[in-house]
Structure 1
Amino acid sequence: MEILDTLIVGAGISGLSLAHALQKEATSASPRAILVAESQGRVGGNITTVTAGGFLWEEGPNSFSPTPELMKLAVDVGLKQELIFADRKLPRYVYWQNKLQPVPMTPGAMIQSQLLSFPGKLRALFGALGFVAPAMGSQLSQQGDQETVSQFFRRHLGTEVMQRLVEPFVSGVYAGDPQQLSAAAAFGRVTKMADLGGGLVAGALLSARKKKPQSPLGKGGLKNVADPNVPKTKPGELGSFKGGLKALPEAIAANLGDRLKLNWHLTRLDRTQRETYIAVFSTPEGQQEVEARTVVLTTPAYVTAELLQPLEPEISSALQAFTYPTVACVVLAYPVSDVKQKLVGFGNLIPRGQGIRTLGTIWTSSLFADRAPAGWQTLSSYIGGATDSEIGNLDTEQIVGEVHRDLSRILLKPSAAPPKVLAVNLWKRAIPQYNLGHFDRLQQIDRGLKSLPGLYLCSNYVGGVALGDCVRRGFERALEVGEYLQQSD
């Protein structure tokens, strides 16, 4: 049996980015034997792009922030001409008290905004300037001196900012509960700024002063993050590809060729006396065994926990503590004539307590061109999450009914006809929650990994859930794997 250098389990964007980086690092003088094994019959993981009837929509992530690593990856795999970007000046909206209110993106817009009351604006201003009570109390002690997202933002910016801006953002990114999410884990950059300067404004200024120019990140396909061949982007832009997000994983997969295996389901992982790993797969051709010097598991926490239970129970128990709420992605299309007004913007989020069950809606065909036939508006809504676990008990027709009812209140004319239902994708376990105790769980995992040299974890339950985070994490793990292989050569 050939011994691989690296076995990567999972062909989502994390695993594919890692494989691409390792492939780029290898040279003809020092080739690396790599295999990527995916349990599904397609690549991309949660990225799910669908086209039908002149419509193009996403049933998982909808877009990406153009991070340097992601942009470099897209160019590397030949997608430079396929990149598209939404106008960063398009407004975002919050539905508050029966009205769509634009999210203030500048200090001037904050002053004029009707989303916050005058006392709410003053409270936010004084808090941002550092007039903030210290984090203390018995409840905080019971939480291991960790603040929840709700506690942190109420303390710094007040209840109105928390309820009307932060809470809907949390719903949109994590589908999470701000009373359970760890502020330091989910909003690490913001909490570090507050710690650095005593207030958010002072912390932001100090952070900007301390920030050093980005240096090349070295191996693994990251030598030229500042490559002039990579298109320049501006803060606030959101990107995709002409053919949808699936273009990226499919392009990486095409470059991997026969180093990628689909419908390979990992059933067991063992460590050998010669410090390699034996992976047993169930495949369409029957059971297959693979031996590798290094293994990277990019699988969700609950899958990884089951695989590692026989090898290292300490890691398994920490992974089992991660929760993944149920979220439904509902893609509906309406004639433009059924919409109250022309939709110009990214979409809208809805704070809890507004009598609306839907978490938020992306105005898909307003965001990117050619996503719907002429005369149609496509709306991608998300419903469920950590604060609405009952959504998983509804059938498809009921879920569509809930979303259509909410859209009728927010965006549609009273005379609007029933929608054209493009998709209802119920993600039973959608997004890992960075809840209180997050860093303790990661430390427990790191302790356990010390007894398993050559084994690495690379998934979105650590280091961020956005596509850019997944690419960066894949590149970083590739560096670690490459260094380990060099040391053991």
Structure 2
Amino acid sequence: MELLDTLIVGAGISGLSLAHALEAEATSASPLKILVAESQGRVGGNITTRTAGGFLWEEGPNSFSPTPELMKLAVDVGLKQELILADRKLPRFVYWQGKLQPVPMTPPAMIQSQLLSFPGKLRALFGALGFVPPAMGDRLSQQGDEETVSQFFRRHLGQEVMQRLVEPFVSGVYAGDPQQLSAAAAFGRVTKMADVGGGLVGGALLSARNRPKKMPADPNVPSTRPGELGSFKQGLKALPEAIAAQLADRVKLNWHLTRLQRTQRETYIAEFSTPDGPQQVEARTVVLTTPAYVTADLLQPLQPLVSSALQAFSYPTVACVVLAYPVSDLKGKLVGFGNLIPRGQGIRTLGTIWTSSLFADRAPAGWQTLSNYIGGATDSEIGNLDSEQIVREVHRDLSRILLKPSAAEPKVLAVHVWKRAIPQYNLGHFDRLQQIDGGLKSLPGVFLCSNYVGGVALGDCVRRGFERAPQVREYLQNKQSDSRSI
């Protein structure tokens, strides 16, 4: 049996980014033997791009924030000419009290916004300047002095900002419950600013002053500006497919990991079921990029404490419902990124991305594609509905928000129900991570690299893969040095 340097379990964007980074660090004098094993018949994980009848849509992540790591990765794998960026000036909307209200993105826009009342704006201003009550109370004590997203933003910016801006944002990013999500885990940068600056404005100023100088920009990587969202001409799947193409036969599809065991020489034997029958692989290091619940099952025989902490992560059900309508059925031309809906507005859908307004050539002429998300931590019942019922729920919501009364039934492009969609960074998140890190010390050579740690966005996944690569490389080098000194 050939001994691998690194076995990466999972060919989602995290695993592929890690494999790419390890390959980039390897040299002819110090090559690495890498294998990426994927249980599905395709790469990309939750990235799910589909096409039919002139439409192109996503059933998982819909776009990405163009972080430096992600942009460099795209260029490195030959996708520079395939990159597309949505106009950052396109407005975002919140549906509030029967109207679509643009989200205020600047102080002048906040002053003029009709989304917040005058007292709500004053409350937010004073809170941002640092006039904030202390975090205290019996409930907070019971939570180990850890604030929820709802508690933190209500304390700092008031109930209106929390309900009308933060809550729909939480629904859009995490499909989460702001009364369960940890503020420090889900909004780490914001909570740190409040801590260091005595308020959000002071913290932002201090952070800007202390921010390290940027490295000179890579002239080969396209420059981007804050607020832009990116994709590729052929959809998000272009990125994992391009990485996998470079890795070639080091990526194995339909390889399902059934067992992981440790050897006496501190390597790991991984047993797979594959289309060619059972396969065994031995590796010096193993990186699990699988969801928490999958990783928990794999590590249960090896490290029950780590497994227990991983099992505590919840993943709510979310349905992605992609519908198309003739533009004549819309109340007006849709110019913007899309709309989010706070809870309590009589609308079940969490939000809608105006897909064919965001990126060109995603729908035939005369059609509008709308990608809708429904379910999440505050609506667990969505998983009990069939596809037709879910479409009816979404179409009814769209009829109130975007469609004319005379609008016909939609063209249904997709109803993808993600039974376990997005890991929730709920209260106790950092305690769980600490328990995981502590337990992994007894499993040298095992690393975790998944979106239940350090952010759920695509850019976070790429960054995490890039950060894990030197840690894996250092472990391998140290083991090699130890074996030479014996």
- Which residue of structure 1 lines up, in the alignment, with residue 115 of structure 2? 115
Q: Give the secondary-structure state (helix, strand or coil) at the position aligned to 1:315.
A: helix
- How far the C-alpha of 1:180 sits from its partner, in A, is 0.1
What SS class does the counterpart of residue 430 from structure 1 fall into? coil
Once the two structures are TM-superposed, the CA of residue 29 in structure 1 deviates from its matched residue by 1.1
Partner residue of 1:325 out of 312, 316, 328: 316
User: Aligned equivalents of 1:256 and 1:203: distance in 2?
Assistant: 43
Query: Equivalences for 1:319-398 in 2 at 5 Å?
Result: 319-398=310-389
SS in 2 for 1:144: coil
Residue among 285, 293, 312 paired with 2:284 = 293
**Residues 254-286 of structure 1: per-residue CA shift (max 9 Å, x gap):** 001110000000000001000000000000101
CA distance in structure 2 between the partners assigned to 1:482 and 1:31 by the alignment = 11
For each residue in 1:205-240, what CA deviation from the matched residue of structure 2 results, as whole angstroms up to 9, or x when unmatched?
A: 01111111245xxxxxxxxx9321000000000000
Q: Which segments of 5 or more consecutive residues in structure 2 lack a partner in the other structure? A: 481-486
Q: Is 1:304 aligned with 2:309?
A: no
SS of equivalent residue, structure 2 residue 343: coil
- Matched letter for residue 104 of structure 1: P
Instruction: Report what 2:444 is aligned to.
Output: 453
CA distance in structure 1 between the partners assigned to 2:478 and 2:304 by the alignment: 28
- Say whether residues 1:474 and 2:452 are aligned partners: no
Alignment deviations for residues 375-423 of structure 1 (CA, whole Å, 9 cap, x no partner): 0000000000000000000000000000000000000000000000000
Superposition pairs for residues 129-168 of structure 1, below 5 Å?
A: 129-168=129-168
| Matching residue's letter, 1:126 | F
Report if aligned partners of 1:17, 1:474 keep a CA contact under 8 Å in 2: yes
Runs (4+) off by over 6 Å: none
Aligned to 1:185, the other structure's residue is in SS state helix
Report whether the alignment pairs 1:410 with 2:393. Answer: no
Q: Which residue of 2 aligns with 1:222?
A: none
Give me the CA root mean square deviation: 0.6
Q: Does 1:462 align with 2:448?
A: no
Letter in 2 for 1:119: P
SS at match of 2:416: strand
Structure 2 residue 49 is the aligned partner of structure 1 residue 58: no
What's the secondary structure of 1:155's corresponding residue? helix
- Shift in Å at residue 341 of structure 1? 0.2
Residue equivalent to 1:93:
93
Distance 1:152 1:134 in 2: 10
Give the letter for the 2:249 counterpart: D
C-alpha separation between the residues in 1 aligned to 2:322 and 2:166? Answer: 25
1:38-77 mapped onto 2 (5 Å cutoff): 38-77=38-77
**Mapped partners of 2:477, 2:168: distance in 1:** 46
Among candidates 264, 270, 278, match of residue 279 of structure 1 = 270
Which residue does the alignment assign to 1:221? none
Separation of aligned partners in 2, 1:279 and 1:144: 39
The one-letter code of the counterpart of 2:153 is F
Report deviation, 1:84: 0.1
Rounded to whole Å, the distance in 2 between the matches of 1:334 and 1:107 is 36
Find the aligned partners of 2:94 and 2:105 in 1 and give their Cα distance: 12
Determine if the alignment matches structure 1 residue 266 to structure 2 residue 250: no
SS in structure 1 of the partner of residue 356 of structure 2? helix
SS class of match (2:247): helix
Secondary structure of 1:369's aligned partner: coil
Is the Cα–Cα contact under 8 Å of residues 304 and 319 in structure 1 kept in the other structure?
A: yes
Q: State the Cα distance separating 1:184 from its structure 2 match.
A: 0.1
Cα distance in 1 for partners of 2:137, 2:160 equals 22
The residue identity in structure 1 corresponding to 2:127 is G
Deviations 1:187-220 (A, max 9, x none): 00000000001100000001111111245xxxxx
Q: Distance in 1 between matches of 2:441 and 2:454?
A: 19
Please report how far the alpha carbon of residue 23 of structure 1 lies from its aligned counterpart in structure 2 after TM superposition.
0.7
Q: Confirm or deny: 8 A CA contact 1:336 1:376 kept in the other structure.
A: yes
Mapped partners of 1:251, 1:400: distance in 2: 33
Q: 1: distance between equivalents of 2:69 and 2:476?
A: 23
Q: Which whole-Å CA distance do the structure 1 matches of 2:260 and 2:252 have between them?
A: 17
Q: State the one-letter code of the partner of 2:193.
A: M
Counterpart residue identity of residue 332, structure 1: L
Q: Distance in 1 between matches of 2:426 and 2:479?
A: 37
How far, CA to CA, are the matches of 1:166 and 1:138 in structure 2? 24
Percent identical among aligned pairs is 88
Aligned to 2:219: 228
In structure 1, the residue matched to 2:484 is none
Q: What one-letter code is carried by the residue in structure 2 that aligns with 1:349?
A: L
Alpha-carbon shift at residue 487 of structure 1 (Å): 1.1
Instruction: Calculate the TM-score normalised by the size of structure 1.
Output: 0.98
SS in 1 for 2:278: strand
CA distance in 1, matches of 2:183, 2:140: 12
Q: CA deviation at 1:137?
A: 1.0
Q: Distance in 2 between matches of 1:199 and 1:33?
A: 50
Give the match for residue 432 of structure 1.
423
Q: Deviations over 1:128-169 (max 9, x none)?
A: 000000101111110011000000000000000000000000
Q: Is the 8 Å Cα contact of residues 365 and 372 (structure 1) preserved in structure 2?
A: yes
What residue number does 1:175 align with? Answer: 175
In the alignment, is the contact (CA less than 8 A) between 1:68 and 1:226 conserved in 2? no
Q: CA deviation at 1:3?
A: 0.4
**SS across alignment from 1:256:** helix
Contact 1:325 1:429 in 2 (8 A): yes
Q: Distance in 2 between matches of 1:352 and 1:423?
A: 24
Q: Are 1:419 and 2:398 an aligned pair? A: no
Matches within 5 A, 1:192-231: 192-214=192-214, 226-231=217-222
User: What is the one-letter code of the residue matched to 1:256?
Assistant: L
